[in-house]
Structures are given as structure tokens and as C-alpha cells.
Amino acid sequence: MNRTRSQALFERAQKVIVGGVNSPVRAFRAVGGEPPFIKRAQGSRLFDEDDNEYIDYVGTWGPAILGHADAEVVAAVQNTVASGLSFGAPTGLEVKLAEAVIEAYPSVELLRCVSSGTEATMSAIRVARGYTGRDVLIKFEGCYHGHADHLLVKAGSGLATFGEPDSAGVPEGVARTTLTLGYNDMSGLEALFEDRGEEIAAVIVEPVAGNMGCILPREGFLEAIVALCKKHGAVSIFDEVMCGFRVARGGAQERYGVQPDLTALGKIVGGGMPLAVYGGRREIMEKIAPLGPVYQAGTLSGNPAAVVAGLTTLRRLDAPLYQRLEARGQQLETGLCSAAADAGLTACVQRVGSMITLFFGAGPIDNFADSAACDGDIFTRFHRGLLERGVYWPPSRYEAAFISGAHSEDDIAQTIAAARAALGA
């Protein structure tokens, strides 16, 4: 595949942008290659600067559930921006979006719009601390909740990808307020609450983890988090930035029937634009300014172009779409399992709806240690082989892949054929 233009752009980019990219995983360093520079995207496809075409499974890291450049979403954004890009004042669109989110997430009684998933989780934790008057936060190893200081402790996503789960630049005192446990470690959680329950402000979790590959909550794990928080006066926070509106319209909390105190949403809720949401129990959310003493604000919060992209996307998330995503997910899962088995590899596929990971290790993969023990060299071979065959898979073994409503049966069949060739099946 010729990528001369992308290579030239990457060379220029590295002189002026850190690592040539505006978010670390995009640099493709973990898979030893150079990133194609993307010119446009349509449906299930990406097109790079050299006019190479790829079937896309990154989906702009989650938001593109309808596929790229969906005509209705694009038209809604175009109509809205014609009336102004940003007002820094309330709009009717924000009210409609809030109502749509609350309808899909009954645990959310009151919410706030912000501009990124990082802001949503960071603000949810601040309000949990303000509400409880406590400092300690529990997170699970390999979960990634954005790049706020207290969350860059044993984190997944880019930090796991580059082997530095704790970021430099985080004050020791801040890091010390974050305690970590293995994902799915219910007895560890119970013991920690027994030991330090009175100090714990909140437990934050990706209820379906996607930043250490796709890892499912074991039966009872989410329920244990919510129950222990309740028992000890702490706040349970589901970070559904990735799995919200993805694994079901009402996210993991609908799929598994568990209601947290607070929820963070991002990615799909903004329809591909910079928008995220945090919300939950009224009593907690009423602690936020101007109703209460916890401060949080943003010039572009509730930006009309972002809100209309999100609202138009949410209106399209109906039962037939989720059935279609499930069918395509099943097709891909079956094909990848056979490809790995026919290549004589130890591997397992973990999937919730349209969120999927092929792990090169024996399953089940229940936590970060299991995920890290999988074979990174085979993943690199798999990734490069796919890319050369026109399939754009996440460039890190710790990032989940996403299927969109625009992926056809034929797209999936082509992907499976490429995977078979890449693995030598």
C-alpha cells in the first residue's frame, strides 16, 4: 500500500505537534508503524491522504455508532451552525438532549453537559468528594477514565499501551488519594471498604471495560460496587463514556440492570462532536454550582453544534440498530475465533454487542493482568496484516474495536478474510 503523502505529513507533523499526534495512541507506536493521515470518512470506511480505503473498527474511538458522516447528523449540524457556532448561553437544544439522556438512563435525574469524557469523569469525582466530604477514590487497574491527575494511576488505554500506567507530573499527594484494585476483584473491594470505608468518597468503574481490551464485569461485580458504596456512604460512578449508548441504548446499566449514583457519558452522546455528560441522583448533583458549593463550568459546554449532533444520533438508536450491531458482532466474533484457531493460536474473543477484542491468550480475560499477559507480538502482526489489507483496527492491544450500523455483512466477511491472511490461517 502506498502511503507517501501520509508519511510526508507525519514527518512534518512531528516537527510541530508532540509525537506528530494530538492523542498518544494515534501515533501507532505500539504496533511499530506510522499512522495513515485521514482525509475523509463515509459509512464504514476511512480514506487516507493517498486515497487508500479502509474498513474502520476504531469508529473515532467509539462515537461513530451510525458510521461516518451520517447524512442526517451532518445536515443537522450544518443547519445549526448556520445560526451561530456558540452562544455561551442556554439553548432549547440542550434541554432536549438532557431529556433524551434522562429517558435512556433512569439513574440520571439531573445532569450537566461538558466537552469531553475527561471533564465528565473528573467533575463526577469532584461532586462525589464534595457530597461526601471525603477524599479517597477507588479505581480498577486498567480502567481509563480520562487524564485528570487522580485518574492516571494504574490506567489503561494509552498509558497501558506505552507501558506507563502512572503518569509523570501527578503530585504524589494526589496519586495517594487514588486506591486501585484488580477489575472484578469483589473480595478485595469488600476488604478495602471494611478497612477504609469512612475515607472513601467514590468508586469509579468502566462497567464494561474497553481500555484494556473488552473485559466484561463478572456476575455480581457491578452490584457489589453499588451495594458497598451505599453501605459505606460512598458514591458509585459508572464511567459509561465508552459503553454508554454502545452496549445498549441505556448502556451497561440497562444491559446488566444495575443503577449507579452517578454516570459519565461521552463519545456517542456527542455524535462525533466534543460533548460529554455527567449526571445522577438529584441530591448529589444539586451540590454543583449554581445550586451548591462544588464548582464546574465551561465556555463551550452544551455547544449547539455538538448538542445537535448528539441529539440527532440518539434519536436513531433504536432496537433494530442494536439487533443489527449484535448480528454483525456475532459474525465478526465467530470469524475471528476460527481465524485464530485455524492459525493454531491460543486466542479468545470478548465482546459485548458491537464492542469487541481479539485477545491473543487463553480466556477468560477478567482483568488487566490477564490482558497484559496476552501476546503483544502476535497482536502487532495481526494489526499490520489487517492494515495492509485495508482494515483499520485499533493500533493498541488495549483498545476495544467498534462496529457501526454502517458495517455490512460483506464488510465483516472481508475483515475476516483479511484476519485469516494476517494470521496465516
Which residues would be at the binding site for ligand HOZ (CB under 6 A)?
23, 25-26, 61, 144, 157-158, 211, 399
Nearer to ligand HOZ, 25 or 113 (CB): 25
The C-alpha atoms of residue 210 and residue 340 are separated, in whole angstroms, by: 21
The C-alpha atoms of residue 47 and residue 37 are separated, in whole angstroms, by: 9
Tell how strand 401-402 and strand 38-42 pair up: unpaired
Q: 313 near 66, Cβ under 8 Å? A: yes
Residue at grid coordinates 496476552: 374
Which helix (H) or strand (E) is 263 found in, with range?
strand 262-265
Nearer to ligand HOZ, 63 or 217 (CB): 63
Closest CA to 273 of 315, 311, 244: 311
Active-site annotation holds for 144: yes
Closest CA to 298 of 115, 149, 95, 97: 115
Please, what is the minimum distance in Å from the beta carbon of residue 166 to ligand HOZ? 16
Please, what is the minimum distance in Å from the beta carbon of residue 245 to ligand HOZ? 16
Nearer to ligand HOZ, 157 or 253 (CB): 157
Catalytic residue among 54, 57, 131, 144: 144
Closest CA to 275 of 129, 73, 39, 130: 73
- The length of the chain, given as a count of residues: 425
In the chain, the largest separation of any two C-alpha atoms, in whole Å, equals 61
Catalytic residue among 48, 56, 70, 239: 239
Please, what is the minimum distance in Å from the beta carbon of residue 209 to ligand HOZ? 11
Beta bridge pairs of residue 357: 350
Nearer to ligand HOZ, 144 or 221 (CB): 144
Contact residues for 128 (Cβ-Cβ < 8 A; gap 6+):
137, 201, 202, 234, 235, 237, 261, 262, 284
Residue in the shown chain whose Cβ atom is closest to ligand HOZ: 23
Catalytic residue among 183, 185, 256, 267: 267
Please, what is the minimum distance in Å from the beta carbon of residue 191 to ligand HOZ? 30
Nearer to ligand HOZ, 94 or 206 (CB): 206
Active-site annotation holds for 183: no
E strand intervals along 281-404: 348-352, 355-359, 391-392, 401-402
Please, what is the minimum distance in Å from the beta carbon of residue 415 to ligand HOZ? 20
Instruction: Kindly list the catalytic residues.
Output: 144, 239, 267
